[in-house]
Structure 1
């Protein structure tokens, strides 16, 4: 009887997928049809989730890394009792539906991560497993496994071709994340051709070499074999597990096993043929047999029981370990007290990257939710939390991670740490390498998760490392991205503002942009005003400005020196520090006009990088002092001299334009 219900349930998932794609006239059929058995077995028999409380903290996490197969997840959520109805499935890929083309975090309850760009879901799953291991190591006590859940990922052949997947897999194997189980939909077909056209590697041997436990399911339609493989994976205590499930893409279609069934609907004739294979030819579209609906009640029942058991255990934990329970409760609810930035003192002239390191190490003890590190540049980025362990196999309670030189995976893993809940993932590298990370940063912005991205070495002041390491266009590139706060700090007060904003954010990632060279602490710098994105840092000497100089980061000090030179010429300008375009755009029109009055048309921007975009603030007649070329390999002082980037030149540009 059980095996009969297993098969009927699998075919129900397949039929729902077929109906949804045919109705939408768009979508991916192949993957859900082939992977339906593994998705079904995982959810029906193993997933510990409670549809009545979808955000229960100790639930299992699930990531459909092969996000194009989204109908597999939507069918599972519907059948498992989550608030996703048949009417929602009928609106698959339609405007404003909760069943979009690829799974979207926050749009659909039960979706733990937005996926679609291949490889990133895998990496975010690694981040979630890191978060679970870290919290378990910090809070679990003998006989009290308060944090004790799995992260499951369904990946495909395309995922494994992406470098970010391989980078993340290496991190996971090195850390021995045994609560991470990846099911590989090995259908041997990509969108254009058979997999062997582009990849003939032995992925199982590769993953074994990276420290993974590997299991193979020879028949992806054999539910008992899949069930046994997952049970075996859960018994592994020292490594993450990869389960290779040999599947047939587009199972049930005459196009099965070919790239022709990877995406897009089929003909009406083919759809009818497929329905006959599934046993649904005589049923209306989107039909779910009553016995399948009842069979899936077990998912919700298991989840309710698991949460009740956990709540009872947590109450006993609270009684025996009140301090730990109190701290964990605050972490789970996001109710930790904000660090005291007012009394945080940074003494002396230093680079903003150094100031950032001091801020990070001061705020962590007050807000111990930060978990992250650098792409092998921790000593340079100042992103290491001092006197705390780096994570290692079987030792996860330290907040520092050796990501290695894997910038893309680092960003995606940090997103997974943040998505898990309770923690805030952060990263560090040079600004120029944000290019490696861009897709993951974009995913954070799309999902609205407040991951923190620290970027140092923010201009040509990088010097002798040369043009490959000197960012020019990266700052503007990040500013072009929706829903991210890009904050380029001028001194220690603005660094504090950046971190305060980043830690307070709940639906927006933050990119903190920092310099390498020492900068002065500016007299007019103001942490609270900086959080508005732009403010008057130095008013005109006569309080009647006829012009405005807008600058960011280390160039704010240059702008103030330019202001002093112009005073000698009886030209009185206001200097505005604009650390964040995005935050300034959120201010009221009145505040914006107060900082940048419309009647003052003589405007100049100073920023050591691409000038594209500054016209919106200086106007078409304004002056943009920047650098729109690649740099040179030389001491920074020589580069700056070569391009004449100094207050005297700035003053001359201003006079030439407006005198």
Structure 2
């Protein structure tokens, strides 16, 4: 190991200790142990340009063990990214660019939001899949637009999480040769040695997944072996690679190699000893040796030149010889892939055949696939039931990634995390994944991160209520919809018919910084009077023109046709406005005046609102005075019998409607305005105004 390697690695270790100690919070052990790997990767292997963090052909570097992000921030600073030393001093402070776990929309150079262990690993698999697909779309014999590599660091905790097993199996099956995962084999977790929980043979495990595995025995100091292992992994193109690096957590600390150094600051006394050991002034903090700065400037200048050469090649040879591919590249890098004209979406009229919204979704998806070539995705072994197969394309497969269909297998959690990686690879990729709505519970760890990291994954979820029938309460997702609605930066659509299904897709795709969930029925639903594609833009709207209602019936999805029928039976007895609240999140974005016009009566009069949804009633109290919904789990039986058992019939809605009107006619004071509320927050943020 050269003198500059030794100096740089030890400088990184000292910086990591300073960063965590100054914050009095964080994880110093992993950065100090993995400093040699990070230095080797950045100085010898990684293609990047800190001056252009979004350069399309950059190598990607993800931190699955995101608690060690002090290391990532230090390397980004040394790599010339817009991350000044002052930001390292503000680690884990409100408003800094160095949050407690990496966040892709906060810190330049951070590719994905990680922290929950294993997510970054699975995101890297998604990025590698995106890379393989786009190579087939963009590369030509004369110009390799894409030849980058996806690198991810992970630790013992990541490999214990189930999402990693799902993603690793998937990656090995497809032979994703652009993926290189570096495993920090330090044999320590929060509770102590891995001897108490994790004694499997990781090398054999990944070899059984059909991965290429390389082991570096002396990861604390053997830069040459690290470099050789990384190059071996990078050059292996027929399968993903795992580089197992044996390290000492918290290397240099008096408590190195123990759980104590994992997740707590070392203390200034220990840090001073570390600095003395490594030849730094023990009293100085946040020092970067001039030789290290000069060395990394040379690295950064070299990488910037490589990027400039790529730009030149793309903007001359490629642009001139392949103008259509060049135009597609611009769309993929800008994210400007959505159509300007949506008239191709299917529309329906009353009297058209009753169809399940999952089948209507199938029609819409084919139209969208023709209009948006960047739309790719698949199902968790349920394509025949979710109806999400792109008919004019084939599946991506080992050795041929030109297709747009993805066979994710029965790997819901991994599927969602892989889609996050697909989206993160290129702004113009629009990934979708599909399963039964119930299994959002399986993939919630990843789908929640779609929202946190502002990734527009499209979740196509079928079998959306007790209406799925005989499979029973284990598969009936009564609590999933309220869970998603409670998740910030998520859009949930539950369309009632064909027009709303087309509209749900349109307005889901227009959310470019948020995931969307389409909740679709198994059972057939009629095409309704008053629905339209563009009405979905409001989130909620009236289907009839009753201006002076005595009662407002509001529902979503399959229950909208139910309240339509109930209103018809109530005609002449009760004046009823019928409202479809297809997307709560879009409805909340409307003006107070509009919301009042939908859920209040004539001239702002408050009238009783009764909601009907074959799911949990949780959350409905903000829109309705009384709810017909699920307060228990469902049951096994034919859908029609379940709807009758739990009260989702025209007769019951009519009966309850009359009871509600009668009750509130005698108890006017019990009516509160459910829509008109004071605004306690500034700019839609959780900040109380001064």
Answering whether residue 582 of structure 2 is matched by residue 579 of structure 1, we say yes
Is the Cα contact below 8 Å between 1:48 and 1:302 reproduced in 2? no
Counterparts of 1:427-576 in structure 2, within 5 Å, are 427-540=433-546, 543-568=547-572, 570-576=573-579
Answering whether residue 294 of structure 2 is matched by residue 294 of structure 1, we say yes
Q: CA deviation at 1:272?
A: 1.6
Is the Cα contact below 8 Å between 1:604 and 1:654 reproduced in 2? yes
Could you say what secondary structure the match of 2:394 adopts?
A: coil
For residues 517-566 of structure 1, give each alpha carbon's deviation from its aligned partner in whole angstroms, at most 9, with x where no partner exists. 110111100211111110111233xx421221110001000011111111
Runs of 4+ more than 3 Å apart: none
Which residue does the alignment assign to 2:413? 408
The TM-score, its normalising length taken from structure 2, stands at: 0.93
Task: Structure 2: give runs of 5+ residues left out of the alignment.
Answer: 663-690
Q: CA deviation at 1:340?
A: 4.1
Is the Cα contact below 8 Å between 1:127 and 1:417 reproduced in 2? yes
Which residue does the alignment assign to 2:182? 183
From 606, 612, 617, the counterpart of 1:606: 612
Q: CA deviation at 1:338?
A: 1.1
Could you say what secondary structure the match of 2:410 adopts?
A: coil
Is the Cα contact below 8 Å between 2:151 and 2:179 reproduced in 1? yes
Which residue does the alignment assign to 1:141? 140
- Matched residue pairs, number? 652
> Mean Cα displacement is larger for which, 340-349 or 112-121?
340-349
Cα distance between partner residues in 1 of 2:267 and 2:455: 40
Which residue does the alignment assign to 1:316? 317
For residues 30-65 of structure 1, give each alpha carbon's deviation from its aligned partner in whole angstroms, at most 9, with x where no partner exists. 111101110111111111111111111111111011
Cα distance between partner residues in 2 of 1:396 and 1:557: 42
Counterparts of 1:121-520 in structure 2, within 5 Å, are 121-221=120-220, 222-282=222-282, 284-314=284-314, 315-338=316-339, 340-345=341-346, 348-421=353-426, 422-520=428-526
Q: CA deviation at 1:357?
A: 1.2
Q: CA deviation at 1:336?
A: 2.7
Is the Cα contact below 8 Å between 1:623 and 1:653 reproduced in 2? no
For residues 143-177 of structure 1, give each alpha carbon's deviation from its aligned partner in whole angstroms, at most 9, with x where no partner exists. 32112111100011110000001100111111111
Cα distance between partner residues in 2 of 1:365 and 1:339: 14
> Mean Cα displacement is larger for which, 179-188 or 323-332?
323-332
For residues 299-344 of structure 1, give each alpha carbon's deviation from its aligned partner in whole angstroms, at most 9, with x where no partner exists. 3223322222212222212222222222222222222351643343
Q: CA deviation at 1:230?
A: 0.6
Q: CA deviation at 1:275?
A: 1.6
Is the Cα contact below 8 Å between 2:599 and 2:609 reproduced in 1? no
Is the Cα contact below 8 Å between 1:339 and 1:367 reproduced in 2? no
Cα distance between partner residues in 2 of 1:520 and 1:609: 20
For residues 343-401 of structure 1, give each alpha carbon's deviation from its aligned partner in whole angstroms, at most 9, with x where no partner exists. 43356321111111111111112111112111101111111111211111111111111
Q: CA deviation at 1:282?
A: 4.1
Cα distance between partner residues in 1 of 2:337 and 2:451: 23
Q: In structure 2, do the counterparts of structure 1 residues 403 and 268 end up closer, same or farther at CA, with 3 Å as the change threshold? A: same
Cα distance between partner residues in 2 of 1:173 and 1:215: 15
Q: In structure 2, do the counterparts of structure 1 residues 445 and 236 end up closer, same or farther at CA, with 3 Å as the change threshold? A: same
Could you say what secondary structure the match of 1:263 adopts?
A: coil
Cα distance between partner residues in 2 of 1:636 and 1:337: 37
Which residue does the alignment assign to 1:24? 23
Cα distance between partner residues in 1 of 2:84 and 2:324: 42
Is the Cα contact below 8 Å between 1:47 and 1:299 reproduced in 2? no
Could you say what secondary structure the match of 1:76 adopts?
A: helix
Could you say what secondary structure the match of 2:188 adopts?
A: coil
Cα distance between partner residues in 1 of 2:102 and 2:331: 29
From 650, 660, 666, the counterpart of 1:647: 650
Is the Cα contact below 8 Å between 1:14 and 1:33 reproduced in 2? yes
Which residue does the alignment assign to 2:633? 630
Cα distance between partner residues in 1 of 2:444 and 2:504: 20
Cα distance between partner residues in 1 of 2:298 and 2:605: 68
Is the Cα contact below 8 Å between 2:271 and 2:282 reproduced in 1? no
From 658, 661, 667, the counterpart of 1:658: 661
Cα distance between partner residues in 2 of 1:44 and 1:365: 44
For residues 550-585 of structure 1, give each alpha carbon's deviation from its aligned partner in whole angstroms, at most 9, with x where no partner exists. 1000100001111111114x2011011001111111
For residues 386-440 of structure 1, give each alpha carbon's deviation from its aligned partner in whole angstroms, at most 9, with x where no partner exists. 1211111111111111110000000000000001112112110001100011111
> Mean Cα displacement is larger for which, 261-270 or 219-228?
261-270
Could you say what secondary structure the match of 2:229 adopts?
A: helix
Cα distance between partner residues in 2 of 1:501 and 1:107: 26
Cα distance between partner residues in 1 of 2:431 and 2:342: 20
Q: CA deviation at 1:262?
A: 0.5
Q: CA deviation at 1:504?
A: 1.8
Cα distance between partner residues in 1 of 2:338 and 2:494: 25
Which residue does the alignment assign to 2:686? none
> Mean Cα displacement is larger for which, 66-75 or 307-316?
307-316
Aligned-residue CA RMSD in angstroms? Answer: 1.3
Is the Cα contact below 8 Å between 1:44 and 1:298 reproduced in 2? no
Which residue does the alignment assign to 2:594? 591
Q: In structure 2, do the counterparts of structure 1 residues 458 and 182 end up closer, same or farther at CA, with 3 Å as the change threshold? A: same
Could you say what secondary structure the match of 1:626 adopts?
A: strand
Is the Cα contact below 8 Å between 1:623 and 1:654 reproduced in 2? no
Cα distance between partner residues in 1 of 2:474 and 2:558: 21
Cα distance between partner residues in 1 of 2:583 and 2:615: 15
Cα distance between partner residues in 2 of 1:281 and 1:580: 59
> Mean Cα displacement is larger for which, 334-343 or 409-418?
334-343
> Mean Cα displacement is larger for which, 419-428 or 262-271?
262-271
Q: In structure 2, do the counterparts of structure 1 residues 558 and 602 end up closer, same or farther at CA, with 3 Å as the change threshold? A: same
